[in-house]
Amino acid sequence: MSPRYGGIGGAEAAVHSFATRLAARGHQVRVVTSNATGMGWVPDLEAGRSVLEGVAVTRLPVVTRRLPGLEARYARFLRSKGHFGDGEQFLRAQGPVLAGLEEELDPASWDRIVSYPYMYWPQVQAMRISGRRGVLHPAAHPEPLLDLRLYREVFAAAARIVFQTDAERTLVTGKFPIAGAKLLTLPLGVDAAITPREHPPSGDPYCIYLGRVQRDKGARFAHALFDAVPTLPRLIMAGPIVEPLPPSSRVEITGPVTAATRLELINGATAVIVTSRYEAFSLVSAEAMATGVPLVVNGHNPVLAEQIRRSGGGLAATSPAGFAAAITVLAGDRELAARLGAAGASYAETAFSWDRIIARYERFLTGGGC
């Protein structure tokens, strides 16, 4: 169960990766999703059934979209640290409410009902009706939504829970009564075609920021830092522009790029910059490590700090001065940059191998060891 499906990004891309790989191993897999591709849940795809890459896909019609102005109301909620109505009200305001969901998720028809991530109306309903067949991939990070009462019910209903990092597991187990659930910590993988670069970058040096250009992703922080410190390499920011940033001679904002361009940008970078406050898992970091490119990450983010600690593939910083110093060191010390990049690549070869990840996941779903 996923609110969107089809190579869109984030959790949806993870659902695609798990679904297609399980199908390739001979499992019968159906993805139930909406007929929308955007987060406003405007129904821009045809509802109905199809088969994509060996996966049966059922797109249910959206009957309730995201409430207009929800983001502004949520921002006020965060500032006031108040109560955002009751959980059910928020759930429907967030959307998407789908027609026919309960019939599609008849627990008697499936060995497992997998829900990814935790927060949307379809995911909550899936856990409510799954009985002890429910498998929850929370993709949770420290955010006020986790304090809504209805999510206690969601986590308690899951028979199996899959975390992407130890930091996520610590967060959830410290907040919810899930002693009866089977637990697994399992990262996402990277494409096997992503391999360590053979040569250090040449030409005009740059750092790369990948992902949504949005405050919560640290976009404003990254933009301001590179704009203000002329001794740093230039910065390229590639990803959907959610919150426009002012022009800068030292920062290039490209908007969305293709997968091939994304990997090309990583491969040529002095360092990959990950400034996000909240992550359940950073695929950008994993791809940078697999490419052998050193990272500079937000050390206040426990998921990013964990990835650096485990891999040795970069540096963590907790202030603008710390970020600037880390980037300056990597730009000026090629030997150190190569050493960190090699450590990340070595770690990624094992930790982010989809073959190993899917084998563990398969054992977990079928009741064996993990």
> What does the pLDDT look like over 206-225, one tens digit per residue?
999 999 899 889 999 999 99
What end-to-end distance do the CA atoms of the chain give, in Å?
22
Q: Could you tell me the CA-to-CA distances from 70 to 87, 91, 156, 170, 210 in Å, in that order?
A: 14, 11, 27, 29, 26
Q: What is the per-residue pLDDT across 222-253, written as a single tens digit (0 to 9) for each? A: 999 999 999 999 999 999 998 999 999 999 99
Q: pLDDT: is 110 or 172 the higher one? A: 172
Q: What is the pLDDT of residue 251?
A: 98
Q: What is the CATH number of domain 11-189+354-365?
A: 3.40.50.2000
For residues 258-268, average pLDDT? 94
Got the DSSP string for 335-355? HHHHHHHHHHHHHHHHHTBHH
Which candidate, 120, 155, 152, 164, places its Cα nearest to that of 135? 155
pLDDT at 107 over 80: no
Q: Which residue has the higher pLDDT, 186 or 148?
A: 186
Give the model's pLDDT for residue 12: 84
Is the predicted pLDDT of residue 79 greater than 60, yes or no?
A: no
Cα–Cα dist 236/251, whole Å? 6
* Averaged pLDDT score across all residues of the chain: 91
Q: Answer yes or no: are the C-beta atoms of 279 and 257 closer than 8 Å.
A: no
- For residue 286, pLDDT over 60 is answered with yes
Lowest mean pLDDT among 77-81, 176-180, 241-245, 334-338: 77-81
What are the percentages of helix, strand and coil residues in the chain, rounded to 5? 40, 20, 40
* Whole-angstrom distance, CA of residue 212 vs CA of residue 220: 11
DSSP 316-338: EESSHHHHHHHHHHHHH-HHHHH
Query: According to CATH, where is 3.40.50.2000 located in the chain?
Result: 11-189+354-365, 206-351
What is the rounded average pLDDT of the residues 157-176?
A: 94
User: Residue 85 has which token pair?
Assistant: 């109505």
Q: What is the pTM of this model?
A: 0.90
Cα gap 296→304, rounded to integer Å: 9
CATH of domain 206-351: 3.40.50.2000
